[in-house]
Amino acid sequence: MDLAEFIDIIGGEAYKDDVLSYPVEAEYLELFYKDFPSFEEEGKKQEDSGLFFLSSYARLACASIDESRRRGIPDSIMFGTFFDITIWERWYERQNGRTGLDRINWIRNHILFRLFRLGELQFEISDEKRCGLPVFHVHVPEGARLDGAEDSFARALSFFKEEKAFFTIESWLLSPQINRMLSPSSSIRKFSSLFTLDKTEESRQAEERVFGFIASDPSSYPVSSSLSKKVKEHLLSGGKIENGYGFLVRSSR
Which pLDDT band, with edges at 50, 70 and 90, does 238 fall under? very high
Contact (CB, 8 A) for 43 and 36: no
Strand partners, 247: 168, 196
Q: In 5-46, where do the E strands start and end?
A: none
Q: Which residues contact 6 (CB under 8 A, 6 or more apart)?
A: 58, 61, 62, 65, 82
- Residue 21's CB: how many other CB atoms inside 10 A? 9
For residue 171, what is the DSSP state?
Answer: E
Q: Which residues contact 11 (CB under 8 A, 6 or more apart)?
A: 83, 86
Report how far residue 208's alpha carbon sits from residue 201's, in angstroms, rounded to the nearest whole number: 16
pLDDT tens for each residue of 61-86: 999 999 999 999 999 999 999 999 99
CATH 3.40.630.120 fits 146-251, yes or no: yes
What pLDDT does residue 88 have? 97
pLDDT averaged over the chain? 96
Sign of CA dihedral 185, 186, 188, 189: negative
Which pLDDT band, with edges at 50, 70 and 90, does 1 fall under? confident
- Residue 60's CB: how many other CB atoms inside 10 A? 21
Q: In the chain, where do the E strands start and end?
A: 115-118, 121-130, 133-139, 164-171, 196-202, 242-251
Predicted confidence (pLDDT) at residue 190 exceeds the cutoff of 90: yes
Q: Domain coordinates of the chain in residue numbers?
A: 3-113, 146-251
State how beta strands 196-202 and 164-171 pair.
unpaired
- Element (DSSP H or E) covering residue 14: helix 13-20
pLDDT tens for each residue of 18-52: 999 999 999 999 999 999 999 999 999 999 999 99
pLDDT tens for each residue of 140-178: 999 999 999 999 999 999 999 999 999 999 999 999 999
Predicted confidence (pLDDT) at residue 253 exceeds the cutoff of 90: no
What pLDDT does residue 132 have? 96
pLDDT tens for each residue of 85-126: 999 999 999 999 999 999 999 999 999 999 999 999 999 999
For residue 138, what is the DSSP state?
Answer: E
What pLDDT does residue 215 have? 92
Mean pLDDT, rounded, for 220-243: 95
What pLDDT does residue 25 have? 94
Give CA separation, 58 vs 50, 51, 54, 90, 237, in Å.
12, 10, 6, 14, 44
